[in-house]
Amino acid sequence: MSSPNATELNLFQRLPLGIIWKSSVAIAGLVFFYAFLFSHNLDNQSSDSFVTLQLKRPASSPNVTIHSPTNISHIGFIVISSLNSWKNRNPYILSWWRPNVTRGCIFLDKEPTQEYLPWPSTSPPYRVNEDVTKLSVYPKLVSPDQVRMFRSILDMYRVGDNKDLRWFMMCDDDTILLVDNLVEVLQKYDHTNYFYIGDNSECVKSNADFSFDMGFGGAGYALSYPLVEALSTKLDACIERYPQLYVSDHMAQSCLADIGVALTIEKGIHQIDLHDDISGLLSAHPQSPLLSLHHFDFINPIFPSMDRYQATNHLMTAAKYDQSRFLQQTICYHRERNWSFSVSWGYSTHIYEKTIPRSILRKPLETFKPWRWNGSPPLYMFNTRWVNNDPCDAPHVFFFQSIEYNASGNQLLTTYIRASPRNLPPCSVDGNHSADSISEILVLSPATTRKTAGVIECCDVEYKAEMNITEIKIR
Spans of all domains in the chain: 72-270, 321-474
Which stretch of 54-58, 324-328, 416-420 has the lowest confidence by average pLDDT? 54-58
How many C-beta atoms lie closer than 10 Å to residue 121's C-beta?
8
Above 50 in pLDDT, residue 338? yes
Residue 466 confidence (pLDDT): 80
* CA torsion angle 450 452 454 459 (round to 10): -60
Q: Is the dihedral of CA 369, 372, 376, 377 positive or negative?
A: negative
pLDDT at 58: 53
Give dist(CA 474, CA 395) in Å, integer: 20
pLDDT exceeds 80 at position 47:
no
Query: CA 305, CA 362: separation in Å to the nearest integer?
Result: 27
Confidence class for position 456, pLDDT limits 50, 70, 90: confident
Higher pLDDT, 406 or 256: 256
pLDDT band with cut points at 50, 70 and 90 for residue 423: very high
Instruction: Please report the pLDDT score of residue 236 as a whole number.
Output: 96
Q: How far is CA 357 from CA 95, 133, 251, 342, 393, in A?
A: 36, 58, 43, 11, 12
Q: CB-based burial of residue 280 (10 Å sphere; 0-12 exposed, 13-18 middle, 19+ buried)?
A: buried
* pLDDT score, position 383: 96
Query: Is the four-CA dihedral 267, 268, 269, 273 of positive or negative sign?
Result: positive
Helix/strand/coil for 409:
coil
Look at residue 49 and tell me whether its pLDDT is greater than 60.
no
User: Average pLDDT over the chain, rounded to whole?
Assistant: 87
The residue-averaged pLDDT of 10-18 equals: 41
pTM of structure: 0.85
Name which of 238, 193, 206 is nearest 56 in CA terms.
193
Classify 72-270 by CATH class. Answer: alpha beta
Please indicate whether residue 23 or residue 439 has the higher confidence score (pLDDT). 439
Whether pLDDT at 140 is above 80: yes
In 3-state terms the chain splits into helix, strand, coil percentages (rounded to 5) of 30, 20, 45
- pLDDT for position 160: 77
Angle at 309 between CA 293 and CA 347, to 5 degrees: 55
Alpha helices in 380-475 (DSSP H): none
Task: Give me the pLDDT at residue 62, please.
Answer: 46
Cis omega (within 30 of 0) on the bond before 378?
yes
In whole angstroms, what separates CA 278 from the centre of its chain? 17
Measured in whole angstroms, the distance separating CA 180 from the mean position of its chain's CA atoms is: 14
For 277, what's the count of Cα atoms within 13 Å in the CB-facing half-sphere?
A: 10
Contact 44, 37 (CB under 8 A): no
Residue among 126, 105, 214 nearest 168 (CA): 105
- What per-residue confidence (pLDDT) applies to 430? 67
Backbone φ and ψ of 100, nearest 5°: 70, 10
The average pLDDT across 147-157 equals: 97
Contact predicate 241/50, CB 8 Å? yes
Write the class of the CATH domain 321-474.
Answer: mainly beta
Give the whole-number percent of the chain exceeding pLDDT 90: 76
Residue 276, pLDDT score: 96
Per-residue pLDDT tens digits for 182-207:
999 999 999 999 999 999 999 999 99
pLDDT in the model for residue 126: 97
